Chain A
Amino acid sequence: MAGLTEYIILASVLFGIGAIGFLTRRNALILFMCVEMMLNSVNLMLVAFSHFRADMAGQVMVLFIYAVAAAEVAVGLAILIALFRHVKDVDITKFHLLRW
């Protein structure tokens, strides 16, 4: 049985991979996927703590993160589609509506 430390390390590294992807990639769709990966690593951490502290509240919290993630993806992809009508590209460096 793997201990809590292993789960903490796994979730932290997964979060870091998502963060690196978010900072280095320029395709807006891949950025969304990186955000999803970071949210997932937080979920893993919550479930691991819930298990090792024998407290079900962590699992309930994961369900609320699912709701927020679903809302974020729906609104984010709608914004992306609206932006794509203007720019005809998913490269985030081409989006400079709010930039000087």
Chain B
Amino acid sequence: MDPYFLVFAIMALGAGVFTISARDALPSALGLLTVFIALSALYLHLHAPLIAIFQVTIYAGAILVLIVFVIMLLMSPGQTLRHLQKNLSYRIMGGILGASMIALLVIGLKGLSDMSRPRELPQGFGHPSQFGDLFFKDYLMHFEVASILLLVALIGAIYLAKRKA
């Protein structure tokens, strides 16, 4: 087993468990940040340097900062949510559903790994120039649609957050 993969896989899984088990939202956000960083390291290993950079700038830099900002906005200091943890039936049912989902995914998707024989990677695989070629030629239409989606989401978010109750 590859030690690089092993280190960051364990880091991602451990931080993921911490994210869902932390008492408060802020430590939870810190765990999520660790998950993002570990996955970014794995992307580097998979010849996707551009995705690794986007992972850090967009996820860790923009989305997580937005989440932390809202945590700071909504939760007054010292306010903990310990009383939210007590519901045992939630935990049992959620655990069973999640465990069966993991089993289903692993069993279902493992078959796919046989048909993908590890080919020789073509010259310059994962290079940003190749990525840009594909992105702005084959997927230009999708790119425009995504930009409209972001614009609509921006307008909607401003409208929702500014509206008086």
Chain A residues packing against B (C-beta within 8 Å): 1-10, 12-27, 29-30, 32-34, 36-37, 40, 43-45, 47-54, 56-57, 59-60, 62-64, 66-75, 77-82, 84-86, 90-91
Contact = CB atoms under 8 A, between A and B. Distances in A.
A36 B101 contact: no
Contacts of A63: 51, 54, 135
Interface of B: 1-2, 5-6, 9, 12-13, 16-17, 19-20, 22, 25, 28-29, 32, 35-36, 39, 42-43, 46-48, 50-51, 54-55, 58-59, 62-63, 66-67, 70-71, 73-75, 81, 84, 87, 90-91, 93-95, 97-99, 101-102, 105-106, 109-110, 112-113, 116, 118-122, 125-126, 130-131, 134-135, 138-139, 142, 146-147, 149-150, 152-154, 156-161, 163, 165
B153 A37 contact: no
Given A20-B99, A30-B22, A34-B20, 13 more contacts: A13-B102, A17-B16, A29-B25, A37-B19, A40-B59, A50-B48, A53-B119, A60-B131, A67-B147, A71-B150, A71-B152, A71-B153, A75-B157
B112 A8 contact: yes
Contacts of A13: 13, 102, 106
A79 B160 contact: yes
Nearest to A90: B74
B54 A66 contact: yes
